[in-house]
Amino acid sequence: MNQLYTRTYLRNDKGEILVSPAGRLLATADYKPVGSSIPKFTGGWSNSFTYKKLSLGVFIDYKFGGTVLSSTALNMLRQGLSKASLEGRRDGENGVLFPGINQANGQPNGTRVTDLQGFYADYRNLQIGDPFIFKSDFVKLRNISLSYNFTSIVNKVSALKFFKQLSLTAGVRNVAILHKDLPGLDPEAIQSSGDTRAGYENASLPTARSYNISLNVKF
């Protein structure tokens, strides 16, 4: 259910990646299933801590076991914007030497590709998804709040004894991502959805962090 499909590196019977005699990438003819977008485990942990008039609330949630195929990672690579695209253009490297097996002679690849733009564009042209498959796992510090109860303080003032409760709370939502596999992106912010597109990430925007202050008053 909700399986993700992509072409993958062409491999020999030993599972080794094959390249052309020119050192270029080769892809499978068919699309292969590479994982499901549906997480296997979801959950959360909520707790509160109170000390005198202060209360601290914390909520952590998580998802594990899903897969995402990232078009953003693909586009950053082929456009020379990711660290992976540095391969072949550092001083003295003189092109990419891809660690594969020459399809023609069965020997380790010894041919460097100097057309770096063309080499990295092959990932899109051939629809090879292997480097762009990630787990959609995350652990997030979802909410944190801090409250102070002023009730006993204001009740010391005779004119303010009509307050049965007076507390002030400050909170933050989407505080931090404590763990994730998807680099540079929030796995929860994947835009693609629907029966056939779930799990296919494309140009996801950052998740917004929000702040709030609330005053709780009872008479």
Q: Residue 193 — very low, low, confident or very high, per pLDDT cuts 50/70/90?
A: low
pLDDT for res 92: 63
* The pLDDT of residue 27: 98
Supply the pTM of this predicted model.
0.83
The tokens describing 212, both together, are: 């709030």
Least confident piece of the model among 1-5, 60-64, 128-132, 145-149: 1-5
Banded model confidence at residue 94, pLDDT cuts 50, 70, 90:
confident
The pLDDT value recorded for residue 196 is 58
Chain segment 6-36, per-residue pLDDT in tens: 999 999 999 999 999 999 999 999 999 999 9
Torsion-angle region of 122 (φ positive above 0: left; ψ -120 to 50: alpha; else: beta):
alpha
132 — phi, psi (to 5°)? -115, 15
Residues 6+ apart with CB under 8 A from 51: none
Range of the domain at 30: 3-218
Distances (CA, A) of 138 to 100, 143, 189, 193, 200: 32, 15, 11, 18, 17
Tokens representing residue 67 in the block: 């897969």
Q: Is 89 helix (H, G, I), strand (E, B) or coil?
A: coil
44: pLDDT confidence band, cut at 50, 70 and 90? Answer: very high
Place of tokens 């680099």: 183
Q: What is the count of structural domains for the chain?
A: 1
- Tell me how far apart the alpha carbons of residues 176 and 143 are, in angstroms, rounded to a whole number: 9
pLDDT on residue 155: 77
Count CB atoms within 10 A of the CB of residue 145.
Answer: 17
Compare 75 and 162 and report the one with higher pLDDT: 75
State residue 151's pLDDT score: 82
Phi and psi at residue 92, to the nearest 5°: 85, -5
* The two structure tokens encoding residue 42: 């979801």
Distance CA 18, CA 76 (A): 24
